[in-house]
Amino acid sequence: MKAAYVVDECKVEIKDIDVPRIKDNEVLIKVKTVGICGSDLHLYKGTHAFRKPPVILGHEVAGDIVEVGKNVTKFKVGDRVTVEPHIGCGGCEYCEKDLVNLCLNKKAPGTPGWIGTFAEYFNAPEEVVYKIGDNISYELGTLIEPLAVAVHAIDRISVSEKDTIAILGSGTIGLLTLVAAREAGYKNIICTDTQQFNLDMALQQGATLALNPLEVDVVEKVKEFTNGRGVDVALVCAGAPGIVDQASSMTRRRGEVGIVAMITEKIPVNTYNFVFNEISLFGAMTYETKDFEKATEMVNEGLDLNAFITQRLPFAETEHGLSILDEKKENVVKVIIEVEK
């Protein structure tokens, strides 16, 4: 079968490899669509924290089950599915608390023992496989994974007031976090981005205010909007040198700042805001199983995320898809690769 490898910095090659052999508890999926994620871009550019070339891209996937292991009970051949792409060790203190995202020995696609999803076939144990509805497209099924990241980010918030939330950065994760905040009942959602296209999309998806930090003083505008009080919560969904300071400067006293973006460079943080205003800081790492279940349910119940899919490319153009996301010369939110059309 064909699989898309990052073989070197900014170099993708489609190689021929064996179809994975499934274990008794696994299913084999004929891959229909995969999504390009920020972490794939890190891998492509050589800045990923733990994935180093040569490795198969991808962790977002939807397709059809074509084979089931003999111990599989929940699925049959022909089921349309997506995958929660991490497997806990089952034995560590975090697995015991159902925090697979924090497992000390978790397995993820593109690490030893599990291939990436940018391949014609992908194997997964049945406990991380989820059915997608008959009327749900494969590409929407592929968006369940990034939506789960957004659901988890909102779930990590401890502040109970849902008056105003700020989402800094309106790429795929920022926009899906806007959707998750909207569905969770936040009254006012303020989004920021440096691209007008993304700001327009935020407004179309229910943002109350969309601000471009290159054009306005975002903190000042947020303070104006909230009558000087500041937002209850600010979520950092993009990387930029001053972005955590921006978040803490627009947050009210005893509010919260959450970091969702994987910012691989060190950035300066002014701790004073956190102390003076007693602001709490949290991180949000991928998702727990309950978040993935919720995201699957939202999509299966008809949540419309089609607007976020801005490019659809054939498998052979995987490298082109990565460069679109990297260079941002054209309007882009989510790039879907059609492995099998």
* Contacts with Zn ion, residue ranges (CB under 5 A): 37, 60, 88-89, 92, 95, 103, 145-146
Nearest of 215, 213, 214 to residue 247 by alpha carbon: 213
3-state secondary structure of 91: coil
Q: In whole angstroms, how close is the CB of 224 to Zn ion at the nearest point? A: 35
Closer by beta carbon to Zn ion, 68 or else 167: 167
Q: In whole angstroms, how close is the CB of 105 to Zn ion at the nearest point? A: 5
Closer by beta carbon to Zn ion, 211 or else 335: 335
Q: In whole angstroms, how close is the CB of 104 to Zn ion at the nearest point? A: 5
> In whole angstroms, what is the distance from residue 36 CA to residue 136 CA?
19
Return the number of other C-beta atoms located less than 10 Å from residue 41's C-beta. Answer: 18
> In whole angstroms, what is the distance from residue 32 CA to residue 110 CA?
18
Q: What is the 3-state secondary structure (H, E, C) of 186-254?
A: CCEEEEECCCHHHHHHHHHCCCCEEECCCCCCHHHHHHHHCCCCCEEEEEECCCCCCHHHHHHHCEEEE
Closer by beta carbon to Zn ion, 103 or else 129: 103
Q: Which residues contact 332 (CB under 8 A, 6 or more apart)?
A: 310, 311, 324, 325
Closer by beta carbon to Zn ion, 103 or else 191: 103
Closer by beta carbon to Zn ion, 55 or else 218: 55
Q: Quick check: 309 and 333 in contact, CB under 8 A?
A: yes
Q: In whole angstroms, how close is the CB of 336 to Zn ion at the nearest point? A: 12
Ramachandran area for residue 278 (φ above 0: left; ψ -120 to 50: alpha; else beta): left
3-state secondary structure of 57: coil
Report the chain's C-alpha Rg in angstroms: 20
> In whole angstroms, what is the distance from residue 195 CA to residue 189 CA?
18
Closer by beta carbon to Zn ion, 147 or else 218: 147
Closer by beta carbon to Zn ion, 106 or else 131: 106
Q: In whole angstroms, how close is the CB of 92 to Zn ion at the nearest point? A: 3
Q: In whole angstroms, how close is the CB of 277 to Zn ion at the nearest point? A: 33
Q: In whole angstroms, how close is the CB of 241 to Zn ion at the nearest point? A: 24
